[in-house]
A and B are shown apart, each in its own frame.
Chain A
Amino acid sequence: MIETLKHAVSVWALFWSDGYVAHLFAAAVLLLLLLKRKNRTVRQLLLPAALALLLFFFPLTARLLMKMVGDDIYWRILWIVPVFPILAFAGTELARRAKKLPRFLLVLLLLGVTVLTGKDMYQAGNYTRLHNLQQVPEEVPHICNLLHTWAQENGLPYVYAAADDHLATWLRIYDPTILMPYGRYGRDARNVYARALHSRLSAQDGEFAKITNDAKLLRCRFLIVPGTSEDLDAQVASYGCPWIGRINDYHFFYVPPDSPLTEIEENAAGDAGSAQNENTAEDAAASPDGNITEEGAPEE
């Protein structure tokens, strides 16, 4: 019980972070209770808010709600507390009785309090000026163009690429024709190799032998490796994946379907062989219609 209450309190604190809205909210409620408690609208606004907060903090209901939505997103329950309307209402109640000039000054004071106790959305670094209408990171359109151009020039019917978590998030938003072995946070990873490849590329662990091996096992045609190391291109290319280009800190490699076995593959020939079979089986299982070609991509 006490643990649940502690968790609810910590969720409340995290919800408002280091802002002062929680304090302002408490002050607004106090003010309304002291000055306007007989007002019908005040009752109509505060009673539902109190019931919502009771549901949120009372250990029994809190436990039940946490079970329903999950501990990690329990903070979303707070969306049903009309905090902002109550704050705006309390501010308006303060100002509305005053005459013209005092009212204007009071409103200015309230706006000043809001500005000083808050943090500007824009200055908090939330917005960026972008030059693509899709509003994806600037390098994403260039990367998609590079991959498609290369695929077209070399007769590849599709683009199947493995990249780090950042690109795994944005590539398919911009261009859904690009296939990937996993998505953001490794979600919908096709198999264990896809999960391993996602972790290695995102962590930039420099294990290029394993990275190229995983990409081959997954039958990706492109490997996008992030990094600033000068010999990165040569290192990856030495595992049978020729370098095809670079955009910012992303290096692009072609993963040929018939590239020679890497050292790791040779060392673990048995595992690799069984993995290849397992991979094919997984691919087939991935498609209810069994429409996965030998190259690992859906048929037209």
Chain B
Amino acid sequence: MGMMIRMALACFWLVPVPLLCGQMFFRNRPFAWPESILAGILFMFSAAEVLILPMTFLRLPLHVLTVCCAAVFLAGTAAGLIRLCRFYGKNGGRDSVSAGKHPFSMKHLFNRKEFSWYLLAAVLVILLQMAVVSYFGHFDQDDAFYVGAATTAVQTDTIFEISAYTGFPYRTLPKRYVLSPFPILLAVISRLSAGLHPAVLAHVVYAPVFVGAGYLALWLLARRFYPEEPDSRGIFLLLSALLYWFCGYASRNQGSFLLLRPWQGKAVLAGVLLPFLFYLCLQLFLPSGQKEENEPWFLLFLGILASCHVSTMGVLLAPLTAGIFMVSALLQKARPNIIWRTILCCLPPLALGIVYLIL
């Protein structure tokens, strides 16, 4: 199959699928693609974590995992689509389409009240960055494991049975990586993209998708800070994009991780999931006082589980983030019922910590 078709398939699994999967978490709410796509990514990562872990220990082949993941992702897509159709069916159907409220309508973007030159400039800068990370190569030696594990899994049809470094069977299970099997999801998406080479998938498709997702998280923060000010939202996003682009002096901060190696789990954690967790925590713990629709708590649970999936650092950083925002909210006189909710959301990393100790 042609390379372009494979890439189009990969894009299908990484853009429309999470977009619709994410919609199933928002009841009675019009289509909002930034939240939807990020929530869908959380859903896909969480589902992958739940499926991959037992299959690794059961030593099941990769093709079984691929079928299961595809079934879950497509079920999520169907559920999201049904929820969307029901909402628009109930709320006016044709009327809402003509009023520019159609789920995929772009009319409002060109509405004078919503349009901002700053936002347009920010979008152009972000698109340029996405093109650069996809078109140009960046050599990162960590790929030896993060991409190597995926190529090995695809070639041998196994999950963490063969060493990515040597091609020989593991003597002991690499417990540091097994609990955060992000490279195996890369292998799964590679299989679902008609065998697109995992290195091509990571460097050419994953890279722009996750850079875009990182900026969507920042866009949500901008929208929360300035719900009625399109220009301010644009300035916020433009400044963020420039700050990220001009942090080439160091290789460890969130910006350089996101723009240099966005296909690696730790970069997705630093650049996409943690900013989205900031947003979720702000929404859930510290209401802005404006009339707004809160995100469901289940998303925080998924966010923390997804963080565990992408990196072992997520096992610590995600609950730490939730904990910090919780304490901050309590200091600002939030209702104490957020404590037990936060504890419930932090159960996945706790369980993974116990599994790590057992291994």
A contact residues vs B (CB 8 Å cutoff): 14-19, 21, 40-41, 43-45, 47-48, 51-52, 55, 65, 68-69, 73, 75-80, 82-85, 87-89, 91-92, 95-96, 103, 107, 110-111, 114-115, 117-124, 126-130, 133-137, 168-170, 172-174, 176-184, 187-188, 190, 285-289, 298
Contacts and interface: CB of A to CB of B under 8 A. Distances in A.
A176 B218 contact: no
Interface stretch (B17-25, B36-44, B79-87, B248-256): B248-256
B246 A169 contact: no
A76 B318 CA distance: 12
Contacts of B256: 121
B171 to A, nearest CB: 6
12 contacts: A69-B316, A79-B270, A80-B320, A80-B321, A84-B255, A88-B222, A89-B225, A119-B247, A126-B248, A135-B137, A177-B155, A187-B144
A21 B144 CA distance: 31
B247 A118 contact: yes
Most buried by A among B147, B235, B242, B274: B235
Contacts of B179: none
A114 B125 CA distance: 14
A285 B171 contact: yes
Contacts of A103: 231
Q: Is the interface of B mostly helix, strand, loop or mixed?
A: helix
A176 B155 contact: yes
Most buried by A among B167, B221, B235: B167
Interface residues of B, number: 87
A91 B235 contact: yes
A128 B245 CA distance: 16
A77 B316 CA distance: 9
Interface string B263-284: 0001001100011001001100
B246 A120 contact: yes
B133 to A, nearest CB: 8
A172 B152 contact: yes
A107 B204 CA distance: 33
Contacts of B321: 80
A128 B132 CA distance: 10
B203 A134 contact: yes
Contacts of A286: 168-169, 171
B137 A130 contact: yes
A18 B253 CA distance: 12
B317 interface: yes
A171 B159 CA distance: 20
Interface string B159-174: 0000111111111000
B239 A110 contact: yes
Contacts of B240: 84-85, 88
A266 B156 CA distance: 39
A217 to B, nearest CB: 16
B317 A80 contact: yes
Nearest to A100: B231
Contacts of B135: 129
B154 interface: yes
Interface in B173-215: 197, 199-200, 203-204
B165 A182 contact: yes
A78 B252 CA distance: 10
B250 A15 contact: yes
A41 B282 CA distance: 9
Nearest to A114: B242
Given A40-B288, A85-B240, A176-B154, A182 B324 contact: no
A183 B151 contact: no
B346 interface: no
B324 A176 contact: no
Contacts of B243: 21, 84, 87-88, 114, 118
A183 B137 contact: no
A119 B288 CA distance: 35
A44 B328 contact: yes
B204 A183 contact: no
Contacts of A184: 141, 144-145, 165
A292 B209 CA distance: 41
Given A68-B316, A136-B199, A96 B226 contact: yes
Given A79-B274, A169-B144, A173-B144, A187 B324 contact: no
B136 A128 contact: yes
A80 to B, nearest CB: 5
B324 A190 contact: no
B166 A180 contact: yes
A288 B169 contact: yes
A176 B151 contact: yes
Closest 6 CB pairs of A and B: A183-B165, A118-B246, A124-B248, A135-B137, A17-B250, A19-B249
A152 to B, nearest CB: 17
Most buried by A among B200, B242, B243, B317: B243
Most buried by B among A65, A83, A121, A123: A121
Given A69-B313, A121-B256, A85 B275 contact: yes
A169 B164 CA distance: 10
Contacts of A128: 136-139
Nearest to A129: B136
Contacts of B55: none
Contacts of A172: 144, 148, 151-152, 164-167
B235 A84 contact: no
B246 A115 contact: yes
Contacts of B13: none
Contacts of B286: 44
A234 B139 CA distance: 33
Contacts of A92: 222, 225-226, 232, 235-236, 239
Contacts of A119: 246-249
Most buried by B among A76, A115, A182: A76
